[in-house]
Amino acid sequence: MMNYEMTEWSDLKRSQKDQTSVFAFCTLCMGSSQKRIDSYGEMVKIIQQQFEDPGKMMENYFNFESMIKHVLFYVFLKDQKVIAYCFQKNDGEWISNVETLNMRDQAEFRRRIGAHVWKQLKH
């Protein structure tokens, strides 16, 4: 049985399960729920492939962290792995990568995020 969880970024960051927020950020950078990062070694490999300068990735991470302090940002986990996200921009528009999920995961995402937010998502 799959174990799903929807959490706010701030709660994820506070819990810091195996540096999940950094793994989640790397997953978001890649823009694909098919390529999840589940270990420090995988994360380092992805950083080296995606960024010529690993320091630049950390700079991007800290910029990302400061940007989302002021927006609602939800992370959707399946078996403790980040598979989707959604956030509300300052102008009120909701952004998500829910369309990359399979139908079962989308249904669970929709159930957990709630009808009000689901209607506003572009999917």
Q: What is the DSSP string of 71-111?
A: S-EEEEEETTEEEEEEEE-TTS-EEE-GGGS-HHHHHHHHH
Which residues span the domain enclosing 18?
A: 4-120
- Above 90 in pLDDT, residue 62? no
Contacting residues for 55 by C-beta, under 8 A, at least 6 apart:
none
The tally of domains found in the chain comes to 1
pLDDT at 65: 74
Residue bearing the bigger pLDDT, 9 or 77: 77
Query: Is the confidence at residue 74, as pLDDT, over 60?
Result: yes
Task: Give the percent of the chain with pLDDT over 90.
Answer: 16
- Taking each helix axis from N to C terminus, what angle separates 20-30 and 40-50, rounded to the nearest 10 degrees? 40
pLDDT (average), residues 104-118: 94
Q: What's the mean pLDDT in 77-86?
A: 84
pLDDT at residue 100 above 90? Answer: no
Q: What does the alpha-carbon distance between residue 102 and residue 99 come to, in Å, rounded to a whole number?
A: 8
